[in-house]
């Protein structure tokens, strides 16, 4: 079963914290939020609401970034099963294009933050999209990701039953 995820960038760790707090306030569970950030600059929400941390190496510079949340399992799984693991290839394995993946890696090299938020249904997707736009997130990309690695399944939340909401313009 695939998962709809929304990737976006935040200009700083404080900006990422504001986005996560807003998502939490509208009912988006933090168990479906992942954050990629420079290893020396952790957002405060990671300490309180986002589980775990794994360090990854960026291919162009050898700098490390940290990923917290369920995305770390998928990226670890990709890294363990690749001859030449890289963040770009890991992101591509999650449904992002090559251009989008390089763009997110460049964002991390600029000391910015990348967020990945799982949407359980179309109503959550609409809320996530609205919050990201309202708080000024950039590079917003919606993608269908491959199933999350088996270890992450215990952190997944059940889908909430709500009426479908269309995101298309009328």
Count CB-CB contacts under 10 A for residue 134: 10
pTM above 0.75, yes or no: yes
Instruction: Report the helix count and the strand count for the chain, using DSSP H and E.
Output: 6, 6
**How many whole angstroms separate alpha carbon 170 and alpha carbon 138?**
24
Cα 5 to the center of its chain, rounded Å: 7
C-alpha 24/C-alpha 44 separation (Å) is 14
How many CB atoms within 10 Å of residue 140?
A: 14
Provide the percentage of residues in the chain whose pLDDT is more than 70. 78
- pLDDT score, position 139: 95
Domain boundaries, the chain: 12-155
What confidence score (pLDDT) does residue 145 get? Answer: 65
**Tens-binned pLDDT, residue by residue, of the chain (170 aa):** 578 899 999 999 999 999 999 999 999 999 999 999 987 888 888 877 887 888 887 776 778 888 998 888 877 766 666 655 678 888 887 888 999 999 999 999 999 999 999 999 999 999 999 999 999 999 999 988 655 544 444 444 443 433 344 344 43
Contact 120, 70 (CB under 8 A): no
Question: What is the average pLDDT score of the chain?
Answer: 80
Structure tokens at 115: 């967020």
Neighbours of 27 (CB within 10 A): 10
- For 98-115, the pLDDT digits (tens) are 999 999 999 999 999 999
- Identify the pLDDT of residue 88: 82
What is the tens place of the pLDDT at every residue in 70-83? 888 877 766 666 65
3-state secondary structure of 73: helix
């Amino acid at each position: 079963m695939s998962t709809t995820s929304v990737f976006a960038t935040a200009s700083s760790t404080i900006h990422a914290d504001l986005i996560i707090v807003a998502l939490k306030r509208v009912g988006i569970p933090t168990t479906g939020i992942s954050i990629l950030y420079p290893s020396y600059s952790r957002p405060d929400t990671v300490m309180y609401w986002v589980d775990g941390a794994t360090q990854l190496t960026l291919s162009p510079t050898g700098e490390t970034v940290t990923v917290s949340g369920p995305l770390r399992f998928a990226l670890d799984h990709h890294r363990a099963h690749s001859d030449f693991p890289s963040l770009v290839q890991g992101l591509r394995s999650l449904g992002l294009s090559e251009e989008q993946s390089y763009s997110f890696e460049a964002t991390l090299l600029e000391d910015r933050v990348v967020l990945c938020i799982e949407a359980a249904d179309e109503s959550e997707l609409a809320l996530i999209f609205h919050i990201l736009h309202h708080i000024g997130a950039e590079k917003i990309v919606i993608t269908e990701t491959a199933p999350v690695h088996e270890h992450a399944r215990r952190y997944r939340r059940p889908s909430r039953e709500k009426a479908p909401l269309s995101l298309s313009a009328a």
